[in-house]
Amino acid sequence: MSDAEQTRQKILDVSADEIHKNGFNATSLSVILEKCEISKGALYYHFTNKIELGYAVFEEIYVPMFLGMWEPALSVKDPIEGLCDFFNTVSNEMICDEAVCGCPLNNLCQEMANVDEGFRQRILNMQEQLNDLISSSLQKISNQLRNNIDYSQVSYFIVASFNGSMNLSRSSRNKELFQKVIAELCHYIKALKK
């Protein structure tokens, strides 16, 4: 990787971290510059403006990370078990000492989807991708599941509930509460089976 690419990557990594912690608007470019130990000129050489930097973080950091988490959970023999394991892992591994930051994509979604059309489109795209992933995984074992299941509806509900749970735990900073809600979510998912 060339020097320039390294700088660009460092900007992306630091920005992803800062945006995750503070949200997009509250993230200051000057803080990013400090942590990267670069000048403003360097940043604006690689990115035309703040929002383009945000898009790049979304596409090059958040989306791969996001899919890298969900995909393995769904591409197992039993996606129902896979999902529950995934949710439980997330809820168990949650760190309570520091401020809980929640899912970066989910956060960005709440903050920016209504403000900026570029973010909104990217978020929508992600949501649809994830929904396809879940619903197709569930359909593969449809013979084991209840009849009359609207797979798209169920998938969106699972994602919505999981996000809602993360938000709850984020604001309450209560790991046990998070685990309880996740337990109920898993209870619901498992009830999809016959």
Partner DNA sequence: AATATAACCGACCGATTGGTTTGTGGCAAG
Partner DNA sequence: CTTGCCACAAACCAATCGGTCGGTTATATT
Residues that bind a second copy (CB under 8 A): 23, 25-26, 99-102, 106-107, 109-111, 113-114, 120, 123-124, 127, 150, 152-154, 156-157, 159-165, 167-168, 170-173, 177, 180-181, 183-185, 188, 191
Cβ proximity of 58 and 119 under 8 Å: yes
> Is 46 near DNA (CB under 7 A)?
yes
The C-alpha atoms of residue 53 and residue 46 are separated, in whole angstroms, by 9
Q: Which does 44 bind (CB under 5 to 8 A by kind): a second copy, DNA, none?
A: DNA
Question: Where on the phi/psi map is residue 173: left (φ > 0), alpha (ψ -120 to 50), or beta?
Answer: left
The item of a second copy, DNA, none sharing an interface with residue 7, based on CB under 5 to 8 Å by kind, is DNA
Between 27 and 135, CB nearer to DNA: 27
Q: If phi over 0 gives left and psi between -120 and 50 gives alpha, with beta otherwise, what is residue 32?
A: alpha
User: What does 42 bind: a second copy, DNA, none (CB cut-off 5 to 8 Å by kind)?
Assistant: DNA
Residue 172 contacts which entry, DNA, a second copy, none (Cβ below 5-8 A, type-dependent): a second copy
How many Å from the N-terminal Cα to the C-terminal Cα in the chain?
52
Q: Which of 13, 23, 38, 141 binds DNA (CB under 7 A)?
A: 38
Helix, strand, or coil here: 80? helix
Q: Which stretch binds DNA (CB under 7 A): 23-31, 91-99, 119-127, 173-181?
A: 23-31
Candidates 34-42, 95-103, 121-129, 145-153: pick the segment binding DNA (CB under 7 A).
34-42
CA angle 135, 141, 146 (to 5 degrees): 85
CA nearest neighbour of 165 among 72, 102, 101, 93 = 102
Least distance to a second copy, CB of residue 76, Å: 23
Q: What distance in Å separates the CA atoms of residue 28 and residue 88, rounded to the nearest whole number?
A: 34
Give the binding range for DNA (CB under 7 A) out of 44-52, 80-88, 145-153, 175-183. Answer: 44-52
CA gap 11, 16 in Å, rounded = 8
Residues that bind DNA (CB under 7 A): 2-4, 6-8, 27-31, 37-42, 44-46, 48-51
